Amino acid sequence: MVKTLGDLLKMAQEKATRKLAVAACQDEEVLKAVVEAAQLEIVEPILIGDIEKTKNIANELGINIEKYEMINAVDLNESAEIAVKQVSSGKADFIMKGLIDTSILLKQVLNKEYGLRTDSLLSHVMVYEIPAYHKLIFLTDGGMNLYPGLDEKVKITKNAIKVAKSLGNQTVKVAVIAAKEKVNPKMIATVDADNMKKMSLEGEFTEGVIIDGPLALDLAVSKDAAKIKGYTSEVAGDTDILLVPNIETGNGIGKSLTYFANAKSAGIIMGAKTPVVLVSRADSHEAKLNSIALGSLIAAYK
The 10s digit of each residue's pLDDT in 211-232 is 999 999 999 999 999 999 999 9
**pTM as predicted:** 0.94
Distance from C-alpha of 172 to C-alpha of 68, rounded to nearest angstrom = 38
CATH classification code of 5-117+272-301: 3.40.50.10950
Domain ranges of the chain: 5-117+272-301, 123-259
In a 10 Å sphere around its CB, with 0-12 CB exposed, 13-18 middle and 19+ buried, how is residue 191 labelled? middle
Distance from C-alpha of 169 to C-alpha of 133, rounded to nearest angstrom = 16
Distance from C-alpha of 165 to C-alpha of 300, rounded to nearest angstrom = 12
Superfamily of domain 123-259: Isopropylmalate Dehydrogenase (3.40.718.10)
The 10s digit of each residue's pLDDT in 158-179 is 999 999 999 999 999 999 999 9
What are 140's strand-pairing partners? Answer: 243
Average confidence (pLDDT) over 179-203: 95
